[in-house]
Amino acid sequence: MFNIILFGPPGSGKGTQSEKLIAKYNLKHLSTGDLLRSEIAASTPLGLEAKKLMDTGQLVPDEVVIGMISSALDANPDVSGFLFDGFPRTTAQAEALDKLLKLKKTEIGIVLALEVSEEELVKRLLNRGLTSGRSDDTNEAVVRNRIVEYKNKTSIVADYYKKFDKVKHIKGEGTLDEIFDSLSKEIDSKIS
């Protein structure tokens, strides 16, 4: 199995690039944002709780997302690899993921970190809000709070993986194809 973390701030293009990467490398896409939005759409108790936090741009509790990822790993025993998108977002989540993967006798192969300037992120997210139907994309204060959460809690997750020499930084500005090529090159150099 070859497992990838696509890492980066909100609006850095993780979702868009994930779609292209899972098709090219035949991976199972696990996006905690998408899993949480499915829970909200189904009005589950977990979804209703998560929605309050997501609508203000805060992270949902670690145990909630770790539980969702654990179930998703169990539900997909025969895949050739996972692409984690929007997870892990805290060091506790990264440690939990390492443990879960170890139980499955696998590990993270590479962490691809997309880099985009803050003003570009805000512009992209508010622009996405015009069509995404996501309430957390329409309000600038919420968008900025998501970036603050990223800086305070998530950016340090890259340091966690740096200890294991797994992080590759990728410029997340340019055309979709240019960014996809940079990501693919890093993956190819690890799997070939």
| Cα(7)–Cα(5) distance, integer angstroms | 6
Cα distances (angstroms) measured from residue 108 to each of 59, 62, 97: 23, 19, 9
Among 146, 166, 179, 187, binds ligand ADP (CB under 6 A): 146
Query: Which amino acid, one-letter code, is at 134?
Result: R
d(CA 93, CA 113): 17
DSSP structure string for 50-119: HHHHHTTTPPPPHHHHHHHHHHHHHH-TT-S-EEEES---SHHHHHHHHHHHHHTT--EEEEEEEE--HH
Q: What is the spatial distance between Cα 127 and Cα 109, in angstroms, rounded to a whole number? A: 33
Nearer to ligand ADP among residue 97 and residue 185 (C-beta): 97
Taking CB under 6 A as the rule, does residue 89 contact ligand ADP? yes
Active-site residue, from 20, 123, 134, 153: 134
Counting contacts by CB under 6 A, is residue 65 touching ligand ADP?
Answer: yes
84 belongs to the binding site for ligand ADP (CB under 6 A): no
Is 144 a known active-site residue? no
52 noted as active-site residue = no
Residue 54 interacting with ligand ADP (CB under 6 A): yes
Query: To the nearest whole angstrom, how small is the minimum distance from the Cβ of residue 112 to ligand ADP?
Result: 14
In the bound complex, what is the minimum distance in angstroms from residue 50's beta carbon to ligand ADP?
7
Q: Does 13 bind ligand ADP (CB under 6 A)?
A: no
Cα 15 to chain center, whole Å?
8
Please give the structure tokens belonging to residue 109: 């192969």
Interface residue with ligand ADP, options 1, 40, 53, 122 (CB under 6 A): 53
Residues binding ligand ADP (CB under 6 A): 10-11, 32-33, 36, 53-54, 57-60, 65, 86-87, 89, 93, 136, 146
Please identify every residue annotated as catalytic: 14, 89, 128, 134, 146
